[in-house]
Amino acid sequence: MPAKIICGKEIAQEIRAELRPEVEKLKARGVTPGLAVVLVGGDPASQVYVRMKGRACEETGMLSETVRLPETTSEDELLATVDRLNGDPKIHGMIVQLPVPSHIDANKVLRRIDPRKDVDGFHLENVGKVAIGDDSGFAPATPAGVQQMLLRSGVETSGAHAVIVGRSNIVGRPMASLLLQKGNGGDATVTVCHSRTKNIGDVTRSADILIVAIGRAQFVTGDMVRPGAVVIDVGVNRVDDPSTDKGYKLVGDVDFDAASEVASAITPVPGGVGPMTVAMLLYNTVQAAQRWAAT
Ligand code: NAP
């Protein structure tokens, strides 16, 4: 039987609908949650993501500020922008869209963001809090979105063997921390694979929940999936497709057609994890504004 589709688009809409009354409550207290997105340079994919985030903010009744800086911006100039936003009382959440140009040390910039405004969850203080299960930290939006998809689709994580393919700081590592946490959406037994993992198919075939975030188009084939497993595909890859207007299409890190013949549930690309990332960024920003209003 083909797998059930876990529709990130629908779950993301549900989360955004839940946020609207929270935003209204804050507004009634004179606080409009504000998200600033800083974009350095003209990377086309980043421009699309930044536009999407700004639009999503406005649709949820939040304030959105996009700061576009030229490719030639120096590290000091970017740090000065972060400092300004750290001190701006209208801004409760801030992200610097990655990647930044290579002459800028991304880590230095991320660590300059006030941890209370670090809604991407990349500041060391938030990384540490997520690692030890302290829920006053901000979890990065993509793995937090995956956890919500599992929870809201009724996928039991407790006692499940979750295999994560990819160990990036943005997806794989925080994903492992979230699934390891005690309680709802956690309590999994977690294995993390990467480019040096031997016999990776043997590991992925042992997964009850398989989460793939490597950036390799259709890397996970049907025979790498255990029958009945839940498959979450984080990857977004452009592959040539002359039959489309743009000449390319987006595919995940999983061979969707083959895997959906084996899995019990699977996320599509697009329309899977992507919309969840945006929804969780808004969620973190509302949280930041609520904490700010409570001080
Ligand atoms: P990344 O920083 O490039 O990390 C990729 C990870 O995959 C690394 O840990 C790497 O291992 C591992 N890897 C690469 N090739 C592998 C292979 N052949 N076998 C096993 N592991 C391999 O990527 P990322 O930022 O985590 O992003 C991963 C994918 O998710 C990309 O397609 C990205 O576009 C997508 N993404 C989507 C969203 C969304 O909202 N939908 C958000 C973030 C990312 P090593 O550490 O050993 O090099």
What is the domain-level CATH number for residue 217?
Answer: 3.40.50.720
DSSP state, residue 172: H
Tokens found for residue 288: 């930041």
Q: Answer yes or no: is 96 within a domain.
A: yes
Residues paired with 150 in a beta bridge = none
pLDDT band at 1 (very low <50, low <70, confident <90, very high): confident
- The residue whose CA has the least distance to atom 39 of ligand 1 is 274
Percent of the chain residues past pLDDT 70, beyond the cut: 100
Residue ranges making up the domain that contains 243: 141-274
Q: Side chain identity at 48, as an amino acid letter?
A: V
Q: Answer yes or no: is 287 within a domain.
A: no
Measured CA to CA, the distance from residue 215 to residue 235 in angstroms comes to 5
For residues 253 and 199, membership in a common domain is answered with yes
Q: Answer yes or no: is 122 within a domain.
A: no
Residues paired with 191 in a beta bridge = 163
| Residue 110 DSSP SS3 | helix
For residues 103 and 209, membership in a common domain is answered with no
Q: Answer yes or no: is 7 within a domain.
A: no
CA of 253 to the centre of ligand 1 (A): 9
Measured CA to CA, the distance from residue 166 to residue 193 in angstroms comes to 6
CB 15 within 8 A of CB 270: no
CATH code, domain carrying 88: 3.40.50.10860
Interval 88-107: pLDDT, tens: 999 999 999 999 999 999 99
What mean pLDDT do residues 204-216 have? 98
Element (H, E) at 200: helix 200-204
For residues 145 and 257, membership in a common domain is answered with yes
Ligand 1 pocket residues where CB is under 6 Å: 142, 165-168, 170-172, 193-197, 200, 213-216, 219, 234-237, 273-274, 277
For residues 262 and 177, membership in a common domain is answered with yes
Alpha-carbon distances of 153 from 71, 142, 149, 213, 283, rounded to whole Å: 41, 16, 6, 20, 19
Tokens found for residue 57: 């903010």
* Nearest atom within ligand 1 for CA of residue 269: 41
| Residue 3 DSSP SS3 | coil
Q: Among 168, 211, 269, 276, which residue has the most ligand 1 atoms within 8 Å of its CB, making it the best to mutate? A: 168
For residues 268 and 151, membership in a common domain is answered with yes
For residues 153 and 265, membership in a common domain is answered with yes
| Residue 211 DSSP SS3 | strand
Q: Answer yes or no: is 130 within a domain.
A: no
Interval 228-286: pLDDT, tens: 999 999 999 999 999 999 999 999 999 999 999 999 999 999 999 999 999 999 999 99
For residues 48 and 165, membership in a common domain is answered with no
For residues 153 and 105, membership in a common domain is answered with no
Which sequence positions are flagged as catalytic?
53, 97, 120
Percent of the chain residues past pLDDT 90, beyond the cut: 98
For residues 157 and 240, membership in a common domain is answered with yes
Q: Side chain identity at 29, as an amino acid letter?
A: R
For residues 91 and 202, membership in a common domain is answered with no
Interval 141-194: pLDDT, tens: 999 999 999 999 999 999 999 999 999 999 999 999 999 999 999 999 999 999
How many structural domains comprise the chain? 2
For residues 104 and 185, membership in a common domain is answered with no
Q: Answer yes or no: is 82 within a domain.
A: yes
Q: Answer yes or no: is 94 within a domain.
A: yes
Q: Answer yes or no: is 5 within a domain.
A: no
For residues 196 and 258, membership in a common domain is answered with yes
